[in-house]
Amino acid sequence: MKEFVYTAPATRVVFGKGAIKHVRNEIELLGVHKALVLCTPRQSAAAERVASAMGDRAAGIFAQAEMHVPIEIAQEAREIARQLGADCAVAFGGGSTIGLGKAIALDSGLPILAIPTTYAGSEMTPIFGITEKGLKRTGKDPRVLPRTVIYDPDLTLTLPIGLTITSGMNAIAHAVEGLYARDGNPIMDLMAEEGIRSIARALPALKHSADDAVARSDALYGAWLCGTVLGNVGMSLHHKLCHTLGGSFGLPHAEVHTIVLPHAIAYNACAIPGALVRIERALKTDNAATSVYDLARSNGAPYSLRQLGMVEADLDKAADLAVANPYWNPRPVERSGLRALLQRAWDGTRPE
C-alpha cells in the first residue's frame, strides 16, 4: 500500500429523514445563542419553516443568496447578522447559499450550521469563493468549514428533477477525481466508491419518481460522502475544466460537471487503473466513461456544451485558459489532447 496522510474531518454530521427537527438542539450544542438563516429568494418559504423549527434561536432570515457569492451581498448579510446580534449562520440551500455562509465566516469567524438541499457538497469543504468586481477569488480556510451539517432528505424533495440529476453527477465528479488524487488515502477511496454507488443507484429511481424517499436518502448520503472527498483531497483536470468553463464562460455549475465528467475520465483512463476498478465496481460496468455518460444522458441531463449555449469558437480560448495554470493531473495535460476533449464535450459525443 502507498504511504498516506489522513486527517479526520472536523464536522459534526446529523443525518436522517426529518432531521431538521434537531436544528434548535444543534445550535445549542454549538454554544451559540442566535442564528441568522441564509437562503436564496426561491427557498425563502422553506427557510421560514427552518427558522420556526429554531424557535427563539432564530435571529432572522436573509433571503438574498446568489450564485458566485457577490461580495456586496456577503457584506450586507454580515452587517444584518451584526445588527440582529446573530452569533451563528444557518446556511439553508445549495452551494450558493453555503458559499454565502462561508463568506460571512471568513472574516467574522461566525460558526456555520449548514443544511444542504442539493448534492454539490460545499458543506463538507473548507473551500470558499467570493466574487469582487467580476472576478471570483477562491481559497481554502478552515474557518469556513461548517461546524455542523444537518442532512434531511425531506428537504431535497422540492429539488427539480433536472437539478437533481446534474447535482448528483456533480457529486460523482468529486468522488471520481478523489480516487486518483495525488494526496488520496484509503478512507477517501472507500467513501468515494460508496458515494458513486449510492448516487448512481438513486438517480434513475428519482427520475422515475422524484419523491422516492429511499432514493432521496441514498442520494443525499452519497452527496455527503462525495463532498467529504472534495474537502479532503486535491482535484485534477475535470475540476480545472469546470472552473474554467463556469468562471470564464458563465456556464451553469452542475450541468458543466455533468457534461465534462465522462470526457475527463476517458482522457485520464490510461493513467488511473486503480480508480477505474473502483468506479466500475460502483457502477457495475466495465467502462467508467461510457457508463457515466449513459447515467446522465439516460436520466435526461444535458450532454453537450453546445446545449448550454457555449459558442464553438470559444473552445480554443477555454483550452488556452485550462492549460495556462493547470492543477496536478494523473496524465500530463497537453493542449491538443485537452482541445480534443473539449470538442467532444461540446459535440456531446459518447466516449468509447
Contacts of 62 (CB under 8 A, 6+ apart): 36, 37, 38, 39, 76, 77, 80, 81
Binding flag, residue 146, ligand NAD (CB under 6 A): no
Would you state the torsion angle of the CA atoms of residues 180, 241, 168, 46, taken in this order, to the nearest 10 degrees?
A: 130
Transcribe 77-99 into DSSP letters: HHHHHHHHT--EEEEEESHHHHH
* Least Cβ distance, residue 78 to ligand NAD (angstroms): 18
Which of residues 40, 185, 258, 287 is near ligand NAD by CB under 6 A? 40
In 3D space, the residue among 302, 323, 117 whose CA is nearest the CA of residue 237 turns out to be: 323
Binding flag, residue 68, ligand NAD (CB under 6 A): yes
Count of residues of this chain found to bind ligand NAD when the rule CB under 6 A is applied: 29
* Least Cβ distance, residue 123 to ligand NAD (angstroms): 8
Rg (CA), the chain: 19
Binding flag, residue 99, ligand NAD (CB under 6 A): yes
| 242 close to 253: Cβ distance less than 8 angstroms | yes
> What residues numbered 286-325 form the site for ligand NAD, per CB under 6 A?
none
Retrieve residue 196's grid coordinates: 458513486
Distance of CA 209 to the CA centre of its chain: 23
**Phi-psi region at 194: left, alpha or beta (left = phi > 0; alpha = psi -120 to 50):** alpha
Nearer to ligand NAD, 241 or 266 (CB): 241
* Least Cβ distance, residue 223 to ligand NAD (angstroms): 10
Contacts of 86 (CB under 8 A, 6+ apart): 34, 35, 36, 59, 60, 110
Cα 104 to Cα 40: distance, rounded to the nearest angstrom? 15
> What residues numbered 253-272 form the site for ligand NAD, per CB under 6 A?
253-254
Binding flag, residue 96, ligand NAD (CB under 6 A): yes
Nearer to ligand NAD, 110 or 159 (CB): 159
* Least Cβ distance, residue 197 to ligand NAD (angstroms): 20
* Least Cβ distance, residue 46 to ligand NAD (angstroms): 7
Retrieve residue 162's grid coordinates: 433536472
**Of the listed pieces 48-56, 123-131, 179-187, 337-345, which binds ligand NAD according to CB under 6 A?**
123-131
**Of the listed pieces 19-27, 39-47, 56-64, 336-344, which binds ligand NAD according to CB under 6 A?**
39-47
* Least Cβ distance, residue 66 to ligand NAD (angstroms): 8
Q: Which 8-state DSSP code applies to residue 125?
A: -
* Least Cβ distance, residue 230 to ligand NAD (angstroms): 6
Instruction: Give me the 188-227 binding string for ligand NAD, x by CB under 6 A, dash otherwise.
Output: ----------------------------------------
Handedness of CA 263, 268, 269, 270 (dihedral sign): positive
Nearer to ligand NAD, 40 or 64 (CB): 40
Positions in the binding site for ligand NAD (CB under 6 A): 40, 42-43, 67-68, 93-97, 99, 117-118, 120-122, 125, 127-129, 155-156, 158-159, 163, 167, 230, 253-254
